[in-house]
Amino acid sequence: MAETAAPYALGTGRRKSSVARVRVRAGEGKILINRRELDDYFPLTQDRNNVVAPLEATGRRGEVDVFINVQGGGTSGQSGACKLGVARALKIFDGELEAVLREQHLLTRDGRMKERKKYGLRGARKGTQFSKR
């Protein structure tokens, strides 16, 4: 582990309309999201795996404590924001992990957003049904 000026590292993750602020420090593997346990906050296995993916890729699952504050969006967007935030915080926490995180595409922000509704249509692309008569 590289020595940092602060006892913890900060990372910000965004996905869809969710924003996650992540703090990583040396510890025994505790993960808290909005002051709740990981299993309580994300009931779906897919979302839980999303959050711990950077920790598993770098082998730091039991070595660091992760504290996350996330807001906005739904569960899928929030778990994606947490994943990016944890990866960025780990990169700051230990600079040697950047190559592994980048190789696994964990430092890349997912830029897909909801497409805006257009006037004259029912949604972003759906229009009204054509009537011949």
Domain boundaries, the chain: 8-103
- Measure the CA–CA gap between 47 and 104, rounded to whole angstroms: 17
| Model pLDDT for residues 64-94, shown as the tens digit of each residue | 999 999 999 999 999 999 999 999 999 999 9
Give the C-alpha distances (Å, rounded to integers) separating 130 from 60, 126, 127, 133. Answer: 57, 12, 9, 9
> Is residue 124's pLDDT more than 80?
yes
Give the C-alpha distances (Å, rounded to integers) separating 56 from 48, 83, 100. Answer: 12, 11, 11
Write down the pLDDT at residue 5.
55
Topology of 8-103 in CATH? Ribosomal Protein S5; domain 2 (3.30.230)
Write down the pLDDT at residue 76.
95
